[in-house]
């Protein structure tokens, strides 16, 4: 009997569990975790959840409706002591026997055929990755000998350049149960127990031979840092509505921040490089609340497409050097932090991803948002409703469950055209932010 066990029982506090949140393609992350897995190769697939999470966030219906009908569900009454404890309870409660593959729920992995029915661990050499791995020190690291045989897995200890991707094979479920029981004894006093600890125990004390399987690629979204990394790579991480959860869709420039001077100085510097001059009056009257593809051609009809994009690229480079002139809307930010436990919050801006993330990172506010819509994500800037329509789709919420917070006339018109209730912000003396 070949079994696949996927534990999804990590504590989530007051937040919606990550596995129920939506990935950039509109599917829930729980669907994405099965990508790259040959589900037909398994006789049983079991997913384990905390009963309180399922009851609070809409029941098993929304999960089972999007997953393979063969999947069985194990609901635990309370939190466990760690990942291995979750797997242990799943095996015992569901009567799992035979060989077993354990896979983390917060990643997708593409690899060659897995050696099912044997002991193995899937990993990847960080040197082969084109992007940096967020929170690398929090990963577990696979140690190989000269024959490429696994001799240890070090949890949160940088002992090699190969990280474990949370996909483990056990030739016999009984081996895992024995290892867990041994590590849980008072003589060890280990808590929490990770699945990698069970692998290390079996290698060191049972002399089990675990094959190393090199993954071709992977994506991980378990931590906010990893989801921010996905956002920087051109994605947005959204949070679905549960039917009663409100979503706040908030603008960036002029609403969350007074970036009037930042944008003016950045565009002035970019235009100066082309021999053009931008006055404060022209900026305030023609640029505020509009996308660069709209206001630059209006102001400078002789611009070629190459010049237009060149000015915008130079503006993005210059932007960070003027961030010291930005100020935060303390009242609005405090309000958003207060409602975050019960509301989804999505940033809706036609500002560039690069500039928006630079600003949010400088003020330590990336963690505030469940979703992002940037300028690169839409074809038309405000006052087109496209950005807000995309945000609602991303958050899985209808207009009657959302409120938009805006400052500029273009932004207000955009939100209203999307059918949203709108709150207008006016918190500084002059000038609104430019998008």
Question: What is the DSSP track for 348-386?
Answer: E--S-HHHHHHHHHHTT-GGG-SEEE-GGG-SS-TTSTH
DSSP, res 28: B
CB 236 within 8 A of CB 370: no
From 60-74, 195-209, 247-261, 264-278, the region with the lowest mean pLDDT: 60-74
- At 433 the pLDDT is 41
Beta bridge partners of 37: none
CB 423 within 8 A of CB 331: no
Read off the pLDDT of each residue in 295-301 and give the average, rounded to a whole number. 89
Question: What is the number of other CB atoms lying within 10 angstroms of the CB of residue 97?
Answer: 13
Q: What is the pLDDT of the chain when averaged over all its residues?
A: 86
**For the chain, which residues make up each domain, given as ranges?**
2-223, 236-435
pLDDT at 265 over 50: yes
pLDDT at 233 over 80: no
List phi, psi (to 5°) of 18: -60, -40
Non-local (6+) Cβ contacts of 1 within 8 A are 43, 44, 97, 98, 99
Read off the pLDDT of each residue in 271-290 and give the average, rounded to a whole number. 84
List phi, psi (to 5°) of 224: -55, -35
- At 244 the pLDDT is 47
Q: How many residues does the chain have?
A: 435
Using CA atoms, how far apart are residues 5 and 173, in angstroms rounded to an integer? 11
Tens-place pLDDT, residues 343-352: 889 999 988 8
Q: Residue 134 — left, alpha, or beta (φ > 0 → left; ψ -120 to 50 → alpha)?
A: beta
Tell me the CB-side half-sphere exposure of residue 119, using CA atoms within 13 A: 21
CATH number listed for the domain at residues 2-223: 3.90.550.10
When comparing pLDDT for 36 and 17, which is higher? 36
Report the CATH architecture of 236-435. 3-Layer(aba) Sandwich (3.40)
Same fold, 2-223 and 236-435: no
- At 435 the pLDDT is 40
- At 228 the pLDDT is 54
Question: What is the DSSP track for 388-417?
Answer: HHHHHHHHT--GGGEEEEE-SHHHHHHHHH
Non-local (6+) Cβ contacts of 100 within 8 A are 3, 4, 5, 91, 169, 170, 173, 176
């Amino acid at each position: 009997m070949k079994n696949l066990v996927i534990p999804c029982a990590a504590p989530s506090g007051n937040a919606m569990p990550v596995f129920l949140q939506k990935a950039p393609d509109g599917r829930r992350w729980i669907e994405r975790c099965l990508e790259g897995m040959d589900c037909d190769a398994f006789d049983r697939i079991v997913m384990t959840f905390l009963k309180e999470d399922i009851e609070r966030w809409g029941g098993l219906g929304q999960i089972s409706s999007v997953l393979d009908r063969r999947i069985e569900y194990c609901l635990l009454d309370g939190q466990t002591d760690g990942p291995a404890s979750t797997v242990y309870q799943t095996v015992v409660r569901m009567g799992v026997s035979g060989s077993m593959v354990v896979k983390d729920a917060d990643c997708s992995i593409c690899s060659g055929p897995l050696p099912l029915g044997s002991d193995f661990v899937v990993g990847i050499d960080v040197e082969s990755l084109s992007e940096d791995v967020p929170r690398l020190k929090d990963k577990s690291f696979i140690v190989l000998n000269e024959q490429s045989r696994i001799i240890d897995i070090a949890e949160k200890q940088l002992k090699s350049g190969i990280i474990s991707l949370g996909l483990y094979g056990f030739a016999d479920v009984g081996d895992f149960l024995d290892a867990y029981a041994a590590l849980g004894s008072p003589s060890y006093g280990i808590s929490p127990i990770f699945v990698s600890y069970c692998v290390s125990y079996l290698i060191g004390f049972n002399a089990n031979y675990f094959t190393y399987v090199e993954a071709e690629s992977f994506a991980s979204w378990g931590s906010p840092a990893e989801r921010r990394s996905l956002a920087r790579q051109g994605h947005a991480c959204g949070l679905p509505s549960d039917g009663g959860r409100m979503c706040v869709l908030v603008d960036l420039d002029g609403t969350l921040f007074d970036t009037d001077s930042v944008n003016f100085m950045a565009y002035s510097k970019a235009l100066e490089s082309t021999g053009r001059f931008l006055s404060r009056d022209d900026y305030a009257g023609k640029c505020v609340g509009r996308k660069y593809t709209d206001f630059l051609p209006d102001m400078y009809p002789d611009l070629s497409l190459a010049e237009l994009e060149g000015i915008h690229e130079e503006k993005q480079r210059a932007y960070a050097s003027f961030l010291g002139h930005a100020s935060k809307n303390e009242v609005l930010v405090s309000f958003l932090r207060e409602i975050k436990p019960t509301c989804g919050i999505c940033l809706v801006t036609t500002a560039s991803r690069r500039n928006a993330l630079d600003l949010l990172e400088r003020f330590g506010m990336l963690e505030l948002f469940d979703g992002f819509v940037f300028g690169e994500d839409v074809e038309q800037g405000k006052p087109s409703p496209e950005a807000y329509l995309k945000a609602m789709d991303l958050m899985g919420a209808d207009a009657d469950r959302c409120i938009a917070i805006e400052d500029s006339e273009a932004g207000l018109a955009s939100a209203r055209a999307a059918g949203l209730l709108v709150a207008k912000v006016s918190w500084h003396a002059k000038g609104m932010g430019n998008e």
